[in-house]
């Protein structure tokens, strides 16, 4: 798709440039007085949290932002493979894939040895992330991602829309109430900045609060959560430009290193014409802010022109620009319980996204870590509120996501020392010498982390050890379910199995069959399915509410090696009757495809088969033998709550 030819225009890219307008701002309505979940901040973390909560009709959610309306320009632009997968879980990946610029190559430029004032391409390589996911890394305006999440919220069962023009000024957590599940221990005070006649101060009481309010988070400060690490010492200019240039790699991501004037990173943007530049500006004094450099857009463009000699940059339009400085810092804890939570308290207040980790923009990790924070937390809050899981489940958020944040900070430190290369004020030689080969090696080494696909949670109540990893070596326990395709038995349709993991709060069990005929009652798969369907202590029977569809809490799929199966030979449980008419669900049974075999691709033991248990956030909780019914029972009993 091409757009922005005659100027940058925010909004829905499905609408032609000539008539595109930003989406209307929802009317300013009074805040509700009491909610289940209060989300502060409409960035990627807040909107992902809200999008997740919007799936649940029985949960009352409120999301607020200090701004007067949705983001229209700028900020992050890289959508990692993993973020794309999560957006697929929200049923919104198609638009992103269509509209985003999909990264294919990276080019590296260094000073020309013959003419050091000029730059010269050293090499071009395929993007290191290719093949890590069925999705590529995409480049699209953060505002467009917000819009897709907002659309999903609006069209959900809850029709959730944000309350803009609300600045959180104070957050109280009543310690006497935090351990009472039904209480509303949170009181949040907001100042209203719209021009209406309604009260200018409003309070909301909530059972849980999630602070997604960015790097200067008021929630974090009110919870006395401390950011640990280095504060900013380097400023970068970031610009979205429409320009005419003879620089040949303008439609390829490039790392450009000049001899004397610093570095530029260019990223092609959606629509075919727009391009993002990150321009190294220099060191800051202690306590100095980038804004105090008093640089104009023209100054920043001039710096880029100098770095990119001998190429011409004729800037026609600056769609957005900013000067950006961030230190590498992580919050000491991600919820309101004491560090390490020795008493096993129920957390009631959380921080997510930039509110609990800040770093440089170079790796494109801000949005891509913030959004998965909320994706990790959302289903847990919902499961506890709905009485499906024990509240101790909420303790896993801080431990799982803080680990990722610490990895992120370390990766950012390494990348920053490679990309920012100009001589330092104290002429520290270690920071002056680097070359693009080091960046390339870093990108290769960290490709899984950069793509978000190798993020792995530690063992906990919702992630077992790796005892049975050999049964499916390509479905890494603790990591996200790496999708692969299979053929639906009922109609021959090809299905990405990972796309069955929708963000609807359900657990999933994928049964990969062995070589026994699953139609025979003596086979391992048949015994497992009979157990799941009939035994009172089967997790499916135990945790599915009376009268609800059989797959409403735990959704079971089967994938077989045999290609000559007929659905009617298989146990009813695998094509269950559902809904008010008892219609059969024909979309739960698959077989492997010749030449595109999921068993081969994911290292599944053909003679044993296995079960792969997938959490509602698409991470693999455990891999078990087909015969390990007791282990399956033990796993779910640890944190789930039986039907009432």
> Considering the complex, what minimum distance in angstroms separates the CB of residue 138 from ligand FAD?
13
Q: Cβ-count burial of 287 within 10 angstroms (0-12 exposed, 13-18 middle, 19+ buried)?
A: exposed
Give the CA distances from residue 415 to residues 79, 86, 232, 275, 278, in Å, rounded to whole numbers and listed in that order.
18, 25, 15, 22, 14
Torsion angles phi and psi, residue 535, rounded to 5: -75, 140
Nearer to ligand FAD, 72 or 461 (CB): 72
Q: How many beta carbons lie within 10 A of that of residue 583, not counting itself?
A: 10
Nearer to ligand FAD, 11 or 353 (CB): 353
Nearer to ligand FAD, 70 or 391 (CB): 70
Residues 48/376, Cβ–Cβ less than 8 Å: no
> Considering the complex, what minimum distance in angstroms separates the CB of residue 104 from ligand FAD?
20
Nearer to ligand FAD, 144 or 508 (CB): 144
Q: Cβ-count burial of 260 within 10 angstroms (0-12 exposed, 13-18 middle, 19+ buried)?
A: exposed
Nearer to ligand FAD, 4 or 166 (CB): 166
> Considering the complex, what minimum distance in angstroms separates the CB of residue 184 from ligand FAD?
19
Nearer to ligand FAD, 118 or 322 (CB): 322
Residues 314/359, Cβ–Cβ less than 8 Å: no
The strand pairing partners of 315, in sequence order, are 243
The two three-digit tokens of residue 294, written as one number: 């008093």
Footprint of ligand FAD (CB under 6 A) = 40-46, 64-67, 75-76, 78, 142, 166-168, 212-214, 218, 238, 322, 324, 353-355, 361, 364, 366-367, 370
> Considering the complex, what minimum distance in angstroms separates the CB of residue 47 from ligand FAD?
7
Nearer to ligand FAD, 223 or 612 (CB): 223
> Considering the complex, what minimum distance in angstroms separates the CB of residue 321 from ligand FAD?
10
> Considering the complex, what minimum distance in angstroms separates the CB of residue 573 from ligand FAD?
41
Q: How many beta carbons lie within 10 A of that of residue 333, not counting itself?
A: 23
Give the closest residue to 336 by CA, choosing from 209, 213, 249: 209
d(CA 152, CA 50): 10
CA 237, 4, 153 angle in degrees (round to 5)? 85
> Considering the complex, what minimum distance in angstroms separates the CB of residue 122 from ligand FAD?
25
Nearer to ligand FAD, 214 or 505 (CB): 214
d(CA 482, CA 498): 7
Give the closest residue to 481 by CA, choosing from 497, 465, 468: 497
Q: Would you give the end-to-end CA distance of the chain in angstroms?
A: 51
> Considering the complex, what minimum distance in angstroms separates the CB of residue 559 from ligand FAD?
36
Torsion angles phi and psi, residue 52, rounded to 5: -65, -45
Q: What is the DSSP string of 121-148?
A: EEEEEE-TTTTSSSS--EE--HHHHHHH
Nearer to ligand FAD, 11 or 364 (CB): 364
> Considering the complex, what minimum distance in angstroms separates the CB of residue 126 from ligand FAD?
22
> Considering the complex, what minimum distance in angstroms separates the CB of residue 102 from ligand FAD?
17
Nearer to ligand FAD, 154 or 606 (CB): 154
């Amino acid at each position: 798709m091409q757009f922005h030819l005659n100027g940058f225009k925010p909004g829905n890219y499905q609408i032609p440039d000539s008539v595109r307008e930003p989406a209307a701002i929802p009317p300013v309505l009074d805040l509700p007085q009491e909610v289940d979940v209060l989300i502060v901040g409409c960035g990627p973390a807040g909107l992902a949290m809200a999008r997740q909560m919007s799936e649940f009709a029985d949960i009352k959610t409120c999301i607020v932002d200090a701004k007067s309306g949705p983001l229209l320009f700028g900020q992050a632009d890289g959508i990692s493979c993993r973020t794309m997968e999560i957006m697929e879980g929200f049923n919104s990946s198609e638009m992103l894939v269509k509209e985003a610029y999909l990264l294919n190559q990276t080019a590296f430029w260094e000073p020309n040895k013959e003419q050091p004032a000029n730059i010269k391409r050293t090499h071009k390589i395929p993007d290191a992330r290719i093949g890590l996911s069925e999705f590529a890394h995409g480049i699209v305006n953060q505002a467009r991602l917000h819009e897709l999440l907002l659309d999903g919220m609006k069209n959900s069962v809850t029709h959730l829309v944000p309350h803009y023009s609300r600045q959180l000024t104070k957050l109280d957590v009543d310690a006497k109430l935090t351990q009472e599940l039904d209480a509303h221990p949170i009181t949040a005070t907001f100042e209203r900045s719209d021009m209406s006649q309604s009260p200018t101060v409003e309070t909301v009481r909530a059972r849980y609060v999630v602070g997604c309010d960015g790097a200067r988070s008021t929630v974090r400060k009110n919870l006395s959560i401390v950011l640990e690490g280095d504060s900013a010492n380097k400023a970068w200019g970031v610009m979205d430009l429409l320009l005419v240039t003879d620089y040949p790699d303008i439609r390829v991501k490039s790392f450009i290193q000049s001899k004397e004037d610093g570095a530029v990173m260019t990223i092609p943007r959606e629509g075919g014409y727009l391009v993002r530049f990150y321009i190294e500006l220099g060191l800051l004094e202690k306590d100095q802010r980038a804004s105090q450099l008093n640089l104009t857009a023209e100054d920043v463009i001039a710096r880029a022109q100098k770095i990119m000699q001998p190429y011409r940059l004729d800037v026609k339009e600056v769609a957005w620009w900013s000067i950006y400085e961030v230190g590498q810092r992580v919050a000491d804890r991600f919820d309101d319980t004491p560090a390490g939570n020795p008493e096993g308290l129920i957390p009631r207040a959380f921080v997510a996204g930039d509110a609990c980790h800040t770093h440089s923009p170079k790796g494109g990790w801000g949005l891509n870590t913030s959004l998965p924070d909320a994706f990790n937390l959302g289903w847990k809050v919902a499961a506890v509120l709905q009485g499906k899981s024990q509240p101790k489940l909420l303790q896993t958020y801080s431990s799982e996501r803080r680990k990722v944040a610490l990895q992120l900070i370390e990766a950012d430190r390494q990348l920053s020392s490679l990309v920012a290369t100009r001589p330092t004020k104290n002429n520290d030689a270690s920071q002056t010498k680097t070359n693009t080969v080091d960046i390339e090696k870093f990108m290769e080494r960290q490709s899984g982390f950069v793509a978000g696909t190798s993020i792995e949670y530690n063992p906990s109540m919702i992630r077992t050890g790796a005892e049975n990893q050999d049964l499916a070596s390509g479905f890494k326990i603790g990591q996200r379910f790496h999708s692969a395709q299979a053929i639906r038995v009922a109609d021959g349709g090809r299905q990405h199995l990972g796309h069955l993991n929708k963000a609807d709060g359900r657990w999933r069990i994928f049964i990969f069959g062995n070589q026994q005929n699953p139609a025979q009652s003596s086979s391992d798969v048949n015994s497992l399915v009979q157990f799941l369907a009939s035994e009172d202590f089967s997790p499916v029977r135990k945790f599915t509410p009376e009268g609800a569809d059989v797959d409403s809490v735990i959704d079971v799929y089967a994938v077989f090696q045999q290609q000559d199966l007929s659905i009617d030979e298989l146990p009813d449980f695998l094509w269950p009757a559902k809904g008010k008419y008892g219609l059969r669900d024909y979309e739960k049974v698959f077989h492997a495809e010749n030449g595109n075999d999921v068993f081969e691709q994911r290292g599944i033991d053909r003679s044993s088969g296995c079960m792969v248990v997938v959490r509602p956030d698409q991470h693999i909780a455990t891999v078990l033998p087909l015969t390990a019914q007791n282990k399956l029972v033990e796993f779910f009993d640890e944190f789930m709550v039986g039907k009432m």
